[in-house]
Structure 1
Amino acid sequence: MNIIQATLKHLDDLIPLFDAYRVFYRQNSDTEAVKIFLKERLTKQDSVIYIAYIDDVAVGFTQLYVLLSSVSMKPMYVLNDLYIDANYRSKSIGTSLINKAKALCKEKQYKGIIIQTENTNPAQHLYQREGFVKDTDLMFFWTND
């Protein structure tokens, strides 16, 4: 397995993974919108995307956004997206992607990593196994619908 930070040259590899990720969260498939969204993230460099390859096949990704903590006056990451192709699950790809994110966090001396996911997400056992602890302080959300 090889994990690299995605650039625009990896866009075509990311599109089907990101689209499948969105479908997992009950969104309609829309590869054209996904392409536009990811191209903007990669061009503006407002997120960090790691992509995992096995034998030159893109099999998973994670996307991190920077969040600032006013109290600690330090940046931290939001691990907002993590997805592994269904054919490649249970091969430690998720763990490897999380470890890559942790290494970046340590390298930059950020406060930590927050994971935002649904309470019913079956990957919660992975997050807990990788040292993430549920934080009851982060429990309110307002949406502009």
Structure 2
Amino acid sequence: MKKDENVEIIKAGLEQLDLVTELFDKYRIFYEQPSNLSEGKKFIRERMEQGQSVIFLAIEKQESTDIPLGFVQLYPTFSSVNLAKRWILNDLYVDQLARRRGVAKGLMQKAKEYAVDTGAIELSLETAADNTNAQHLYEWLGYEKDEKHFYYHLSLD
């Protein structure tokens, strides 16, 4: 897929909070959660203000307006065994109207560049077993499916 020259990927800050919130709400709806713009905005604002995540935002500039196309959110973590930083690519979403334009690929590449620039040894992610479109993209970009480990989760709610 050819790179869309009209798309710019920026590190989102509080000045882009409303743009990110709009996409974040659509992302949550995609994962069968009810729309909740106010709580989503609060969640994203807290991550930004407390430096708990890094968000890259794909935008298209049209006249004096920035149109949000997609975002990726990274959370930092560390490997005790390797004594090193890692990043978790926790959220990736591209608006339905912007798909097939290379936006997801661009966001994934930006996330990788950021991980490398911050000295991380790994960038990891997980996706639903039936999300084959995403799996194809991840594998095309060089991500490898972990066949050696089991992951367990304990629900605390």
Taking structure 1 as the reference length, the TM-score comes to 0.96
SS at match of 2:144: coil
Structure 1 residues 138 and 43, CA gap change in structure 2 (3 angstroms): farther
Moved more, 120-129 or 69-78: 120-129
Q: Distance in 1 between matches of 2:150 and 2:67?
A: 36
Partner of residue 102 from structure 1, selected from 107, 112, 135: 112
d(CA) in 2 for partners of 1:31, 1:78: 24
- Between the aligned partners of 1:120 and 1:68, the Cα distance in structure 2 is 29
Corresponding position of 1:86: 96
Q: 2:155 corresponds to which residue?
A: 143
Counterpart contact for 1:80–1:117, Cα < 8 Å: no
* Mapped pair 1:57 → 2:72: no
Structure 2 residue identity aligned to 1:42: M
Query: In angstroms, what is the RMSD of aligned CA positions?
Result: 1.0
Q: Give how far 1:116 is off.
A: 2.1
Deviations 1:115-134 (A, max 9, x none): 12211223111111111111
Confirm or deny that 1:125 pairs with 2:131: no
Higher Cα radius of gyration: 2
Q: Distance in 2 between matches of 1:131 and 1:99?
A: 11
Structure 2: state its 5+ residue gaps.
1-6
Q: Does 1:4 align with 2:10?
A: yes
Q: 1:133 to 1:42 in 2, by over 3 A?
A: same
Specify whether residues 68 and 138 from structure 1 end up closer, same or farther in structure 2 by C-alpha distance, changes over 3 A only.
farther
SS at match of 1:123: helix
